[in-house]
Amino acid sequence: EIVLTQSPATLSLSPGERATLSCRANESVKYYLAWYQQKRGQPPRLLISEASNRATGIPARFSGSGFGTDFTLTISSLEPEDFAVYYCQHRVDWRITFGGGTKVEI
Amino acid sequence: QVQLQESGPGLVKPSETLSLTCAVSGASISSSDFYWGWIRQPPGKGLEWIGNIYYTGSTNYSPSLKSRITMSVDTSKSQFSLNLSSVTAADTATYYCARFRKAAAGDVGFDYWGQGRLVSVS
């Protein structure tokens, strides 16, 4: 069973700063990893697919990287609307797993 | 514009069956590119995948919930449904329906989501 571990649980930053979020898998998932953003009271929004492909309409300040077991979501310069919870997600053999989430707070 | 909308009771009694429906508009539920899924989120907690269904009726369920889940699809009405039996307080959550898009050599992910339906078991 694939387990996705996100760190840190909470990231306290200021607008304009760089955010680096980690997602680690307990075995290789190749590049099959997605990232989502969830704001309070809203459904998640797809940000990144296949580790590094930005979804339609996602600003360029969001970038994803990694392969195998270690993945990173980077927000180059935080905007006020970026303070939210971020989840990574993987699918293998039609078993879908989400990480526990990282909250990016001011 | 793709839209998904959950509907169903917001309150279910323990041991009964939770039933939700997701209406899809702006996209063909019969497209071979998409699977249709349910994800839930207990209050203040993270996301849990429940299961997916294809337009043919083929299903994939979370192993931890498999014994209690039934999903179905009605292509004529462009909707799909979730039944979760024998519910307990631990099943209290916001239930989301979402579209899962596959790519040629991999996955895109859940690219469209409904607004969610809070279901309380009490």
10-residue averages of pLDDT along chain A (106 residues): 95 96 95 96 97 96 97 97 97 90 95
Query: B110–A89: do the CB atoms touch at under 8 Å?
Result: yes
Q: What are phi and psi of A55, to 5 degrees?
A: -75, 165
Question: Is the alpha carbon torsion for B118, B50, B21, B35 positive or negative?
Answer: positive
Report chain A residues whose CB lies below 8 A from the CB of B47: 36, 38, 44, 87, 89, 98, 101
Alpha-carbon distances of B69 from A42, B25, B89, B118, rounded to whole Å: 25, 24, 16, 18
Report chain B residues whose CB lies below 8 A from the CB of A53: 108
Q: What is the pLDDT along chain B (122 residues), one digit of tens a residue?
A: 999 999 999 999 999 999 999 999 999 999 999 999 999 999 999 999 999 999 999 999 999 999 999 999 999 999 999 999 999 999 999 999 999 998 777 788 999 999 999 999 99
3-state SS, residue B42? coil
Closest residue, chain B, to A51 (C-alpha): B108
Query: Which of 60-89 (A) contact B at CB < 8 A?
Result: 87, 89
